[in-house]
Chain A
């Protein structure tokens, strides 16, 4: 009851208010119907931002899955010997975004360390490098967190299953495919959902790296929302947010149904 009250007060009601605002003018409250939604979908900046956000999500989440799971399996197999690796992978989570960006600038600036080593004059914050840099930033930041979640799931798998499989002659890959992965299904859903949410937080790094108007490849939905708020295009902002919320709910719903069916 308490958590429902809190969720309703701080999440549900504001969401409903935002949806409501998408049907009215920013000031004056005049009803405009679906005009804002039509404008949002027709807006080229929104199209670019949505495409970039979707591309980012579709690239990052599978990549994060594979890399973090691989690392988790390796750490799991190494047991106590990998404590330092585990700790090291968790450090990026503790570093503030602004501090991280300061280091990134040292590395990727025109006269930065990387260009100094390679001897090139690459603009890492412009196409075609801006997107990979942002993806790398996201992976670096979230690897450790996902690793912990995978490890929690791995430690929860009864050892007897592996022993039984080994007796039956299953090799490592077969044990991975038929025991480990199915046992991690609950974690897959959780990690997928959390990774999806965390992928939107990368706006901080994109803003700090590229400013208000970064390279087109890393121009995300939050940039657009920030500018719409500054110009009081609240109806457009809320309409875009409602569209995104629906897309996210749909994605999580599909994920849930898919994983349940697979079970």
Chain B
């Protein structure tokens, strides 16, 4: 009996050992069982167009060619027409309808043809003979190329007035008629905004219908959907609405005799059916009667999608997760193209249109950089369904630059799948500590990702322990061609090599009064300026908490010395903050920003110092009081972290208002512009402090244990390439020189870039004319001035800070300040307390 027990025990042991051994084995897949077949992406060219031109109106013609419209966004708003058969070359054409349209169209919206060659064009302008108001109009194109007005909306909005802008720029609600007093405000639900435009300047009269999709049906009818009015089928001859569809839907297409609409947000109710976002509605195209709905939550449609109907009646949908298809009458989506294996997953690429064509081919039109790009997908049976190699990239949080780089990398390495792993993939329910522990376990086991995005990871430890590979060969080739800012190559380098590179940088800048900007270069000069100008308010918000929030990032590097807290430096920072605060009579210029109502909205101050991988909270102004104060000449200065050329808009708008406000530019696009005079651009802002400090973002490195180091380094090159870096994703300026030059030379029309901020009405200290800040795309001299500052960067923020110290310093600085504010400690005592709090972490 004992022998049997021993035998069973031994067998159990052996089975356990065999099982453990088997767990570590990698299953070998026979070559014959590899799945074959996938779509291959091919980037098409685009017509060469000049600045101030943009592409729109992509469509598939009955002759099988693809066509696109290009229009100037300035006088005389000329339209051009281009076609291509295969995307390699575009030819400019001048069909008969084009010249007629060029005389009347102020703004081209869309164009579409059916298989018989009948088409329509939607534009903002007068009738074709030049008469009538400037409205959103639909003109019909016959098979012979002639163009005639349709009766749709010829007297105005087909659904009655939706919204329109009066001759003085004031926007009126749909149920309020324009009155003689053009500046009258109402409280209608549709936002009424009093224009800040001076009365003497002319403003074009336009009546936008905001059409979304305008399609030419095979039945000769016009299928029109709008953003606000409704969706329906119109007879172009009578202008009569013959069928009505869902109003709230985002996209519209026709498939198999049905009108298919996509609802991306909110909910909708129709014919007793109520559905939430991420659903498709199928209606009878002829009658508008609802046939069915198809909830599609698994497709994650809420992040933007395009839909199209195929000739077979199938419906296609393209979004960030990929391209999917549902069969006619079906209710199951089939993914035919994985977003991770094509440009659909790239952040800057927004799917706009889908054109199934040929045999199993698709053309996807993306909206990106205010223009269109075309990618064609062809099915290849001989290509493995999955790429034969995989590169793993780890980033703690989703990173737009990395996702963008995947697109650039894929162009060079189409047979490599880039797998982006985030903290959710490493430790699903854990916090940052759990994620780092799990990641370190992988690293110690000799595994781990091929590429790291080192935000929120112990970068200095990784460099010290040899976790990161030397990137000197990558950097050397970039420096040889002067492709990259040299400063970023020195950020995380030592005598043994270069181990990490910030792919983006944020700039701490000071904006405001010319004299103040010239005088203030650091904390000492800031305090000196404040004391020497007692009658001048320094910042809008002069509370010590806000000042610390604004000024601490620029001093962090000096707070740590030789591995210990520099108590004197901390004391100086705290004392300076308190002294600055005391130079102001009132902590807030606009008292509303000190009320509980406002403070409860911002819920305190959040320090998030970007050490790569994600956008820092410092880029999001937690308190707009400083902006309004500087813009309205109530304070001299404001601090802003710039995180890309687009972020310059707001500061530019502040200075523009300070210097007089928007001006009318009749030579350019004939509109309002917010340019700072060219001779002022270098005087109204500077880097602060002026030591060349910058905030690194998206810091990337390669795992020294990676089994495919060359591919990993190629990915780093893709991250630093102009293709990735020339897109402003809001997570920092590019470090690629060519991308910087492109950014500094970029142009956006005022019409598309114009935006504004409005302060609350709840503060009597806020006069009405100070409550609105308008801004638009900065001038090129301004952008170039900012680009020049990028060349001045030297030292990354928090260089040498171990990860725990970064968090501890964030947490303890405000607490130390609180001790002073509450009278518990002097600045020196508070600094000593802070040093004590951090001592243990430093001693480790």
Contacts and interface: CB of A to CB of B under 8 A. Distances in A.
Interface stretch (A43-51, A146-154, A182-190, A252-260): A43-51
A27 interface: yes
Interface in A1-48: 1-2, 5, 25-28, 43-45, 48
Nearest to A215: B840
Given A27-B704, A48-B840, A232-B465, A227 B9 contact: no
Contacts of B467: 27, 232
A212 B13 contact: no
Interface in B424-449: 433, 436-437, 440, 443-444
A226 B840 CA distance: 14
Nearest to B705: A27
A45 B10 contact: no
**A224, A228, A231, most chain B CB atoms within 10 A:** A231
A12 to B, nearest CB: 15
B433 A212 contact: yes
Given A227-B804, A230-B458, A44 B466 contact: no
B12 A230 contact: no
Contacts of A216: 840
Interface in A191-233: 212-213, 216, 219, 224, 226-233
Interface string A34-77: 00000000011100100000000000000000000000000000
Interface string B694-731: 00000000001100000000000000000000000000
A4 B458 CA distance: 39
A230 B466 CA distance: 15
Nearest to A5: B13
A43 B843 contact: yes
Contact of B10 (A1, A25, A229, A230): A1
**A5, A212, A213, most chain B CB atoms within 10 A:** A213
Contacts of A45: 840, 843-844
B436 A213 contact: no
Nearest to B467: A27
A186 to B, nearest CB: 28
Contacts of B336: none
Given A5-B13, A45-B844, A232-B440, A25 B461 contact: no
Interface string B788-808: 000000000000001110001
B444 A228 contact: no
A212 B467 CA distance: 24
A234 interface: yes
Nearest to B802: A231
A231 B437 CA distance: 9
Nearest to A47: B843
B680 to A, nearest CB: 48
A44 B704 CA distance: 31
A253 B545 CA distance: 58
A22 B444 CA distance: 14
Given A27-B466, A212-B804, A213-B808, A230 B437 contact: yes
B844 A227 contact: yes
Contacts of A219: 840
B499 to A, nearest CB: 13
Contacts of A233: 461, 465
Contacts of A2: 9-10, 12-13
Contact of B840 (A25, A213, A232): A213
A232 B443 contact: yes
B812 to A, nearest CB: 10
A25 B704 CA distance: 15
Contact of A234 (B433, B437, B444, B804): B444
B603 interface: no
Contacts of B444: 26-27, 232, 234
B210 interface: no
Contact of B440 (A1, A213, A230): A230
Contact of A43 (B433, B437, B462, B844): B844
A228 B433 CA distance: 12
A196 B717 CA distance: 55
B841 interface: yes
Contacts of A228: 844
A14 B819 CA distance: 48
B447 to A, nearest CB: 12
Contacts of A44: 843
Contacts of A48: 840, 843
A1 B840 contact: no
B843 A229 contact: no
Nearest to A236: B844
Contacts of B433: 212, 226, 230
Contacts of A231: 458, 461, 802-803, 844
B6 interface: yes
A45 B444 CA distance: 24
Interface in B827-841: 837, 840-841
A234 to B, nearest CB: 7
A191 to B, nearest CB: 31
Contact of B436 (A25, A28, A230): A230
B465 A25 contact: yes
Nearest to A3: B9
Contacts of A26: 444, 465
B808 A232 contact: no
Given A1-B9, A216-B840, A27 B465 contact: yes
A250 B196 CA distance: 83
**B6, B843, B844, most chain A CB atoms within 10 A:** B844
Contacts of A25: 465-466
Contacts of B443: 27, 232
A110 to B, nearest CB: 14
A232 B458 contact: yes
Contacts of B802: 231
Contacts of A230: 433, 436-437, 440, 458, 803-804
A182 B843 CA distance: 47
Nearest to B432: A230
Nearest to A228: B844
**B440, B704, B808, B840, most chain A CB atoms within 10 A:** B840
Contacts of A212: 433, 804
A17 to B, nearest CB: 11
A2 B11 CA distance: 10
Contact of B844 (A27, A28, A224): A224
A203 to B, nearest CB: 14
Contacts of B840: 45, 48, 213, 216, 219
A46 to B, nearest CB: 8
A227 to B, nearest CB: 5
Contacts of B10: 1-2
B112 to A, nearest CB: 58
Nearest to B458: A231
A234 B464 CA distance: 12
Contacts of B458: 230-232
A213 B841 contact: yes
Contacts of A213: 804, 808, 837, 840-841
A216 B9 CA distance: 49
Nearest to B807: A212
B43 to A, nearest CB: 40
Interface in B500-542: none
Contacts of B6: 1
A26 B443 CA distance: 10
Contacts of A226: 433
Interface of B: 6, 9-10, 12-13, 433, 436-437, 440, 443-444, 458, 461-462, 465-467, 704-705, 802-804, 808, 837, 840-841, 843-844
11 contacts: A1-B13, A2-B10, A27-B466, A45-B843, A48-B840, A213-B804, A213-B840, A213-B841, A227-B841, A232-B458, A233-B465
Given A27-B466, A43-B843, A232-B467, 4 more contacts: A43-B844, A227-B844, A232-B461, A234-B444
In the A-B complex, the 10 residue pairs with the closest CB atoms:
A231-B461, A45-B843, A44-B843, A45-B844, A27-B466, A2-B9, A232-B465, A26-B465, A27-B465, A231-B458
